[in-house]
């Protein structure tokens, strides 16, 4: 049963806690000055809930007293905003690939029954906390840690407003390259082509910066080849002579069409 709200530190905590967000005990203790014992007291009193070792949610119920579900963005917020030694411009983990594209308004994926799949890309070497990995979120969380870019490129992240807090997601230019990184094991070439068709307004400067920093020959070639197939005007503004596109053919899937200029497998064109 909840205690009477007459504790000034508790009042402050309840007021500053973003609705739907996870807060870590490390941040609450070291940054906000709450003792471990005080957090345990608030937990016992029912004001906060422990969702895993080192992570709390604020107790929230509906008008019938049922606990409201905790959504995955609240956990991502904690990873991004509360990580030790965090860089506010380059998060240790961010919403990426198809998930970022969907949130950006490029929804071209069939919604199947059951939990949605959410893609997070984590920086190589970053250990996603156990509480996040083991919590039963309202989605299937896929965490991938490629070294896809040699530079952090903070301008390639966008803020997604969640009401009480924001999370960082990949901008469309970065997100499509992350999606191509997942081809063909996790994403099909056909889906990649479908997404690329809708990306006629990508910013050439941002695309060029990402391509120059990209460490994957496959991703660079596939992006250029699909953009060429889609006749996107922004492709003409990319100086491919400045890019390291490697050597040799890249056969991603058997029985696919082959883009001669960029030497990589691509979906067959209609009627092809």
Chain-centroid distance of CA 171 in Å reads: 10
Residue 189 pLDDT more than 80? Answer: yes
Give the chain's domain count: 2
Residue 57 pLDDT more than 60? Answer: yes
- Residue span of the structural domain in which 13 resides: 8-58
Residue 163 pLDDT more than 50? Answer: yes
Q: Which two tokens stand for residue 213?
A: 């920093």
Q: Could you report the per-residue pLDDT of 253-272, keeping only the tens digit for each?
A: 888 899 999 999 998 765 44
Please give the model's pTM, rounded to 2 decimal places: 0.92
Q: Which two tokens stand for residue 193?
A: 């082509």
Q: Which of 179, 176, 183, 191 is nearest to 235 (CA)?
A: 176
Q: Could you report the per-residue pLDDT of 119-145, keeping only the tens digit for each?
A: 999 999 999 999 999 999 999 999 999
What is the DSSP annotation of 25-84? HHHHHHTT---HHHHHHHHHHTSEEEEETTEEEE--B-TTSPBPPPPHHHHHHHHHHS-T
| Residues 44 and 77 placed together within one structural domain of the fold | no
Band the pLDDT of 48: cuts 50, 70, 90: very high
| Residues 187 and 133 placed together within one structural domain of the fold | yes
**Residue 272, pLDDT score:** 44
| Residues 110 and 44 placed together within one structural domain of the fold | no
Report the percent of the chain where pLDDT is more than 90: 82
| Residues 91 and 21 placed together within one structural domain of the fold | no
């Amino acid at each position: 049963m909840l205690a009477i709200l007459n504790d000034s530190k508790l009042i402050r905590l309840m007021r500053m806690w973003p609705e739907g967000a996870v807060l870590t005990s490390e941040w609450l203790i070291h940054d906000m000055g709450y003792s471990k014992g005080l957090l345990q007291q608030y937990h016992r009193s029912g004001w906060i809930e422990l969702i895993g070792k080192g992570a709390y949610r604020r107790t929230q119920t509906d008008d019938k007293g049922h606990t409201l579900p905790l959504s995955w963005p609240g956990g991502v917020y904690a990873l991004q905003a509360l990580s030790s030694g965090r860089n506010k411009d380059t998060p240790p983990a961010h919403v990426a690939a198809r998930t970022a594209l969907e949130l950006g308004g490029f929804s071209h994926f069939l919604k199947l029954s059951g939990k949605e799949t959410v893609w997070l890309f984590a920086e190589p070497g970053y250990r996603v906390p156990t509480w996040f990995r083991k919590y039963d979120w309202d989605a299937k969380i896929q965490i991938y840690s490629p070294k896809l870019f040699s530079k952090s490129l903070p301008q390639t992240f966008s803020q997604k407003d969640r009401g009480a807090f924001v999370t960082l997601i990949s901008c469309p230019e970065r997100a499509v390259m992350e999606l191509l990184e997942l081809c063909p094991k996790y994403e099909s070439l056909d889906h990649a082509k479908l997404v690329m068709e809708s990306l006629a307004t990508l910013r050439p400067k941002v695309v060029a910066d990402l391509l120059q920093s990209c460490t994957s020959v496959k991703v660079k070639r596939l992006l250029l080849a699909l953009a060429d197939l889609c006749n996107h005007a922004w492709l003409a503004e990319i100086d491919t002579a400045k890019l390291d596109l490697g050597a040799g053919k890249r056969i991603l899937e058997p029985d696919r069409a082959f883009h001669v200029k960029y030497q990589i497998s691509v979906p067959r064109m209609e009627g092809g």
